[in-house]
Structure 1
Amino acid sequence: MPFLGPGSEGEPGKQGGKLRSARSRMPGHIYRSRPLSSLYLCNGARTYSMGFLVPVLTSVETAMPGVSGIRLPPSTVMAACSTATRMAAETGAHFIDQFNNPANPAAHEDGTGPELWEQMGGRVDAVVAGAGSGGTLTGLSRFFARRSPATEMVLADPRGSVLADYVRTGRVGEAGSWLVEGIGGDSIPMVSDFSRVTRAYSVSDRESFATARLVLRIEGLLVGSSSGTLLAAALRYCREQTAPKRVATLVCDAGNRHLSRLHDESWLADQGLLQRDEHGDLRDLISRRHDEGAAITVRPDDTLSTAYNRMRVNDVSQVPVVVGDRCIGLLDESDVLIALAEGKFGFDLPVRDAMTRKIETVTPQTPPERLLPLFDRGWVAIVVDGERFLGLVTRMDLLNHLRRKLAA
């Protein structure tokens, strides 16, 4: 489980190998096309400044102190690498370039492979690994080709990535989209070699996330989304066997870097990745249900400071004001601005003095299309069953619902 070692993901030895191989050419700044804490750790003893280019959809927890991070719009891996190459040339920095750097698979061939072989007592029937740059799988393949040619190499790939289909057919198809971070690709990395991979599994986001959460619940291990993909593929492989085998896989990313996504049930519900009881009405559209304790709410005697902080931390623009199970008002960003703009009140003003009291509610049986006039007026739908508050439905909740419905 590399995520339990120093750096919490990957292998510091691998990243140290990249630094050593580049040191003679290296100026004072390093760029990498996505963050890796083990590279950050290996660099700690050096004097290089570091910068990472990451997709804007990457979990916010990947940020590291003292490291510059540039968030890129959604794009292909090759586009991100081109940006990193250009920035390195313009600033005189060195681009680690894990997708083309031969030190990447070499570190796994010389380090990860022997370590795995030793820990497994020299008996390994199969290794299940993922591929982002392909360095891990390539290095392990080369090691086991020498030490244990009978060991089967298995690829675990997010559904939507082109890599699994490439292993099966030898052709590069059209890439889809996936939410698992760190593995999968829209093209075949130059540094990769899948010639010894004999089997490939495409694992859906739902199965990957569910497996990672199951590991936390059963084993007490807080792992990340790519670990969920690898473990799900390893379990599939094992279930297909007719005789006992010794199968190894890697738990390579820590879940503390995925708290805002993988381990956030509201985010999972928004993405349609959380299995929930369906009612066939507006309750299915509520991403944060009040009866489950998930709704972000305030009480009338809370201060504007409390309300503001809850909106900011949870990235919402309004909060219902509740007393018990009843919603008695709504406070949004405009209400807070109006209360503060005159300069007569501060953040210690009670919510009751700034909230909107005249609210329009809907029942669970309200057809979704009836919400559009509310949204046109800039409102949210406040769903109640009698006097019992159930939750809010926003424009994004309706869009997520329609997306899930179309994908079904």
Structure 2
Amino acid sequence: MTNDIFDISDNTPLVLMKQLTRQKRARFMAKLEYMSPCFSHYCRVSGAIVRDAEERGAIHPGMTLVDWTFGTSGIALAMAAVSRGYKVLLAAPESICREKQEVLRALGAELVLTPSEALPGDLQSCVDVAENLVRTLPNAWFANMYQNPVSRQVHQDGTGPEIFRQTEGKVTHLFVPMASGAMISGIGRYFKSVNPEVQIIGVEPEGSVYGDLHGGKSQGTPSAFQLEDIGAVRPTSFWDPNVIDRIVQVSDADAFNCGRELLRAEAVFAGGASGAAMAAALREGEAYGDDALVVVMMTDFGGYDLSRMYNDDWMRRQGFYRKSKTALDQITADDILQRKAHKDLIFAQPEQTLAEVFETMKQNDVSQMPIVSFGAPIGSISENRILSILIENDSAMNAKVVAFMEKPFPVCQPDATISELSEKLQTNASGVLISLSDGRLQLINKSDLIDVLTRK
């Protein structure tokens, strides 16, 4: 039992990803920060900011806490504040998700919506409106979650050590969505102090400024993006390139669609910022080896994005919609090979004679074989082909098979879906070769597809 709901904001689950990462050598784990009372990583921060302000005597019940928000930070602040007797006044762009607006109003927060196109420095922007409200309202205090130093300290003292403990110190790469930069700078400072080899990778939308800044430009050039709770049009005081190894940008479409795939494939009900982080991790993780342990921060909740990211009509209007994979499309060549007994590929070499090849066929009870030269399939040979050759010329058994070979089997990658494999097999009934990452080849035939479909 706990006396304060915010006491359970720590120790969020760390879950192994299995479906989206089947073709990756590294292990990928999702840190479900949205599984907290506030459904976002801001839960850790909001409670700490309010407690810190109370301990310093900066606020007392009856005061109005003011801030600007893109939704989730405001929800977390409102949950921490109203339960302690504070009023909450928030400025937010009018474009934020309807669900976030409704939750804020349900919490009793007063919401001032500002023009979405107004950038900081414009008197109509949510940042400038919030700052002006603090100056003009009596008995008001600016929480300033995007700049409050408590925000970074919470992640340096809490989130970083928590990840280290949950992975038993084995984490090698951390992907963190960047908004204010408090989370990545706090986690980055912790890990650079205990293990500088851990790669701290920031994730932002295309159009955010951190990538330019990390690349050495004095000032990033922002452009519009649809993602919320990730990205920035100007850096905050938390910007600390010394603890960030890389910045990866992700398009709105890739972020939203990866978030939707997280729900379908892994039952992770996360938002667009989390989708961006996972999309970046999967893309970058193509090059990671077996020794890599990748942690991806899931910072926002999908339930706050039902009218946008999880709405097919909205996704279509924005040009982001991608058809979801069917259950069959989820089955890949790699899955089929995992079900088969591991055997070396039976193949012929071009310099072998027809007699040698035919003897290999008899010994292995196969009627057709690929012909492989230096690891590459260059053709094939079948019993029927050998028979027709001998009928015309019975002395050809000592001739090299390369002179009589037929067209090669089609080649696919391990991530080829069962639908793709079936289509290939319609034109070549003998089989499809799968090119493995170690250079070896494996064969899949129609019987293998039938076996996996009937779940024998």
Provide the rounded CA distance (Å) in 2 between the counterparts of 1:262 and 1:102.
Answer: 32
Give 1:131 shift: 1.3
Task: State the partner residue of 1:184.
Answer: 231
Task: State the partner residue of 2:41.
Answer: 10
Question: Which residue among 31, 34, 43 is the counterpart of 2:66?
Answer: 31
Question: Which residue among 174, 179, 192 is the counterpart of 1:132?
Answer: 179
1:22-66 C-alpha deviation (Å, 9 max, x unpaired)? 222125111121132332332243110112211111101112211
- Of all paired residues, the percent bearing the same amino acid is 25
Q: Which protein shows a greater Rg?
A: 2
2:127 maps to amino acid: C
Task: State the partner residue of 2:169.
Answer: 122
Task: State the partner residue of 1:51.
Answer: 89
Question: SS at the partner of 1:3?
Answer: coil
Give 1:194 shift: 2.4
Confirm or deny: 8 A CA contact 1:168 1:199 kept in the other structure.
no
Question: Which residue among 61, 68, 82 is the counterpart of 2:110?
Answer: 68
Give 1:243 shift: 4.5
Provide the rounded CA distance (Å) in 2 between the counterparts of 1:276 and 1:226.
Answer: 21
Moved more, 148-157 or 75-84: 75-84
Structure 2 matches for 1:307-322, cutoff 5 A?
none
Provide the rounded CA distance (Å) in 1 between the counterparts of 2:218 and 2:167.
Answer: 34
1:73-113 C-alpha deviation (Å, 9 max, x unpaired)? 02224542222111011113111112321111011111111
Provide the rounded CA distance (Å) in 2 between the counterparts of 1:250 and 1:242.
Answer: 20
* 1:237 lines up with 2:284 in the alignment: yes
Provide the rounded CA distance (Å) in 2 between the counterparts of 1:4 and 1:193.
Answer: 27
Question: SS at the partner of 2:270?
Answer: coil
Structure 1 residues 241 and 171, CA, compared in 2 at 3 Å: closer, same or farther? farther
Question: Which residue among 62, 81, 88 is the counterpart of 2:127?
Answer: 81
1:200-224 C-alpha deviation (Å, 9 max, x unpaired)? 1110001001100101111122211
Give 1:145 shift: 1.7
Structure 2 matches for 1:339-378, cutoff 5 A?
none
Structure 1 residues 55 and 94, CA, compared in 2 at 3 Å: closer, same or farther? same
Confirm or deny: 8 A CA contact 1:125 1:246 kept in the other structure.
yes
Question: SS at the partner of 2:48?
Answer: helix
Question: Which residue among 227, 247, 270 is the counterpart of 1:223?
Answer: 270
What is the aligned-residue RMSD (CA, Å)? Answer: 1.8
1:344-390 C-alpha deviation (Å, 9 max, x unpaired)? xxxxxxxxxxxxxxxxxxxxxxxxxxxxxxxxxxxxxxxxxxxxxxx
Provide the rounded CA distance (Å) in 1 between the counterparts of 2:167 and 2:76.
Answer: 24
Moved more, 80-89 or 38-47: 38-47
Structure 1 residues 44 and 116, CA, compared in 2 at 3 Å: closer, same or farther? farther
* 1:197 lines up with 2:244 in the alignment: yes
2:90 maps to amino acid: F
* 1:265 lines up with 2:291 in the alignment: no
Question: SS at the partner of 1:70?
Answer: strand
1:298-332 C-alpha deviation (Å, 9 max, x unpaired)? xxxxxxxxxxxxxxxxxxxxxxxxxxxxxxxxxxx
Confirm or deny: 8 A CA contact 2:160 2:191 kept in the other structure.
yes
Question: SS at the partner of 1:183?
Answer: coil
Provide the rounded CA distance (Å) in 1 between the counterparts of 2:258 and 2:90.
Answer: 29
Provide the rounded CA distance (Å) in 2 between the counterparts of 1:205 and 1:251.
Answer: 16
Provide the rounded CA distance (Å) in 1 between the counterparts of 2:215 and 2:120.
Answer: 22
Give 1:164 shift: 1.6
Provide the rounded CA distance (Å) in 1 between the counterparts of 2:45 and 2:146.
Answer: 14
Task: State the partner residue of 2:298.
Answer: 251
1:83 maps to amino acid: V
Moved more, 33-42 or 221-230: 33-42
Moved more, 242-251 or 266-275: 242-251
Provide the rounded CA distance (Å) in 2 between the counterparts of 1:149 and 1:72.
Answer: 42
| Residue segments in structure 1 that go unaligned for 5+ positions in a row | 278-408
Question: SS at the partner of 1:108?
Answer: helix
Provide the rounded CA distance (Å) in 1 between the counterparts of 2:76 and 2:141.
Answer: 17
1:51 maps to amino acid: L
Task: State the partner residue of 2:222.
Answer: 175
Provide the rounded CA distance (Å) in 2 between the counterparts of 1:276 and 1:217.
Answer: 12
Question: When the two structures are aligned, how many residues end up with a matched partner?
Answer: 277
